[in-house]
Structure 1
Amino acid sequence: MEQFEAFLAAHLPSAASFHPHYETSLHQMLLGGGKRFRPALLLGVVQAYNTLLVPSAYHAALAIELLHTYSLIHDDLPAMDNADLRRGMPTLHKMYNEVSAILAGDALNTYAFEVLSNAPFSDKVIVKLVRSLAHNGGVEGMVLGQAIDCHFENQRLELEQVKMLHIHKTGKLIAASLQMGAYIVGRDDLAQQLYDFGIDLGLLFQIQDDILDVTQDETQAGKTTNNDEAKNSFVTLLGYERAMDEANALAEKVTRQMMSFDENLQRELSPTLTQYINRHKD
């Protein structure tokens, strides 16, 4: 991941102009840290099956991180979560203004596909990667989840509806990360299995975030916390204890799924996954 960080720093979006902070706003959230969870999953799959393709795969990993970062910028806007803090720093609309934050998110969204289109893969592979990222990050994926999340604030949903919401808002982009890794190494036979695993992993990730929202302060989380009262979070719906039970059961399921993978894939994914599978217990 150190090499990926160097790649990211060397491929930041560039847009020289007389605007006082446009280019800086594009870089700020990217350089502000973050878990890099989705890039690590993609690169883990590639490392498991073809180490020679890892440098090329940085393009796809960066594309995912760009799309994810755009979603965070927009998620924090006053029209959505109205958050003041992200990755330990003021959100872009607080640092500059709402217009700057909207445009920075728009720019990172489109730049993700520019980076992906320039990846050193065959056109056939690039089309698969673009399709996966666009489908899971867009109309039927992350954006749908966000639309449901925002529309049903202050309206109680059923548990299965909440799961659908978060599978789309969080799970699908995590699932795409694993699927795209399989496409890069020509393991289309594994793509669906990894995608399904990613959906469960993404749901676990979201339940954990909901738990951490009520157990961590802003300094620990690096973002605005205790901000989910009006949202359909798992803790809001189930309460803390039942949300923990759901997280524990899903963590066990994800662990079993991971243990069913071949030795190479287990070896490469385990360092990333072991950091997160039980983070709600920390």
Structure 2
Amino acid sequence: MTAVFDTFYADDTLVDHLTKSIQYSIQSGGKRIRPLFLLETLQAFGIPISEAHFKVAAAVELIHTSSLIHDDLPAMDNDDFRRGQLTNHKVYGEAQAILAGDALLLDPYLLLSSADLNASVIVALVAELAYASGSHGMVAGQVLDMDGEQHTLTVDQLKKIHALKTGRMLTFPFVAAGIIAEQDDEIVALLRQLGEAVGQAFQIRDDILDVTATFEEIGKTPGKDVVADKSTYVKLLGLDGAKQALTEYLDIASQMLTEIEHKTQLQGEPILKQIERLRID
């Protein structure tokens, strides 16, 4: 997938310092869990991975990276570190970071348009990615997350924030794989439920690590949620309750995966291994 990034941003007509700012963030490492889920789900359906599939995987990672750049800005979560290195705005300035994030929200659609897939598949993928990332998904979730600072939310309100801010972008890989694999509406719906459970689990895990992990372990400033007085699963349920909620969502995801296996030719063991990596002992 790195080769996709390098090729896409190698055009010598691009603005050099914008490209450097973008590449600084997209090449900074990270778990790449969204592309990984997409590619592994395609393989689980028996589909050989092609360059077109790497482009779809890269598209979702670009939007995720955009959210990280913007999330770290002083007007939002105000962090100086991401993935163990200085955040984009600390290196390139706030204005450049904002514009790099803007580019990373839009470039994925140009990338998708160049993928060697049927036009109907590309249209469906564009619609799903826009749904996951914009005012129906990630951006709306970030707004609600900021609104919730210094307020005590209910667990249901917190679930909604997690579903939008984190869940939609983690649901996209599973739904996108179903679209590419030409699965019927029933299976795509089950894949969506699988992704939603993984998304909730992922954010709960992040809440837990914010209060239990070190800078070296998470690559960013720990304890930020406590300082910002955010409602988290740890704040609402306690550490043990948050760990129990994490376990419950991971169990739901495992059950959904089993159901999909029973209804299709999906071989889900590699996906299950990735899901199980989210557990905290």
- The reply to whether TM is greater than 0.5 is yes
User: 2:47·2:181 contact (CA, 8 Å) conserved in 1?
Assistant: no
Q: Give structure 1 stretches of 5+ with no counterpart.
A: none
Q: Percent identity?
A: 36
Alignment partner, residue 135 of structure 1:
131
In the alignment, what sits opposite 2:149? 153
Aligned residue runs from structure 1 range 70-109, under 5 A: 70-109=66-105
Pair 256,49 (structure 1): closer, same or farther in 2 beyond 3 Å: closer
* Letter of the structure 2 residue corresponding to residue 237 of structure 1: L
State which of 45, 48, 58 in structure 1 corresponds to 2:44. Answer: 48
The separation in 2 between residues aligned to 1:79 and 1:15, in whole angstroms, is 33
TM-score of the superposed pair, with normalisation by structure 1: 0.92
1:243 — aligned with what?
A: 242
- 2:260 aligned partner: 261
Kept in 2, the 8 Å contact 1:145–1:166? The answer is yes
Alpha carbons of 1:147 and 1:32: their partners in 2 closer, same or farther (altered >3 Å)?
same
**Judging changes above 3 Å, is the alpha-carbon distance between structure 1 residues 194 and 95 closer, same or farther for their aligned structure 2 residues?**
same
Alignment check: 8 A CA contact 1:9 1:31 kept: no
- Paired residue for 1:122? 118
Q: Does 1:226 align with 2:215?
A: no
Distance 2:58 2:127 in 1: 16
1:185 corresponds to: 181
- Aligned twin of 1:59: 55
Q: Which moved more, 1:253-262 or 1:191-200?
A: 253-262
User: Using a 3 Å threshold, how does the CA distance of structure 1 residues 210 and 18 change in structure 2: closer, same or farther?
Assistant: closer
- Greater displacement, 212-221 / 237-246: 237-246
2:27 is aligned to: 31
8 A contact 1:53–1:185 mirrored in 2: no
Q: Deviations over 1:172-209 (max 9, x none)?
A: 11111110111111113321110111001100000000
Alpha-carbon spacing, 1:244–1:16, altered in 2? closer, same or farther (3 Å): same
Contact 1:13 1:26 in 2 (8 A): no
**Are the structure 2 counterparts of residues 270 and 248 from structure 1 closer, same or farther at C-alpha, using a change threshold of 3 Å?**
closer
Deviation, structure 1 residue 136: 1.1
Aligned residues: 275
Q: Which moved more, 1:101-110 or 1:230-239?
A: 230-239
More deviation, 129-138/226-235: 226-235
Secondary structure of residue in 1 paired with 2:149: coil
Q: Decide whether aligned partners of structure 1 residues 120 and 199 sit closer, same or farther in structure 2, where only a CA change above 3 A counts.
A: same
In the superposition, the TM-score normalised over structure 2's length comes to: 0.92
CA contact under 8 A between 1:172 and 1:202: conserved in structure 2?
Answer: yes
**Does the 8 A contact of 1:170 with 1:206 survive in 2?**
yes
Query: In 2, distance between residues paired with 1:145 and 1:90?
Result: 25
1:58 to 1:18, Cα distance in 2 relative to 1, 3 A: closer
Determine if contact 1:46/1:181 at 8 Å carries over to the other structure: yes
Q: Deviations over 1:117-171 (max 9, x none)?
A: 1111111111100000001111111111111011121011111000011111000
For 1:73 and 1:18, locate their aligned partners in 2 and report how far apart those are by CA, in whole Å.
19
Show the counterpart of 1:204.
201
Q: Is the 8 A contact 1:88 1:222 kept in 2?
A: yes
Shift of 1:54: 3.5
AA aligned to 1:67 is: I
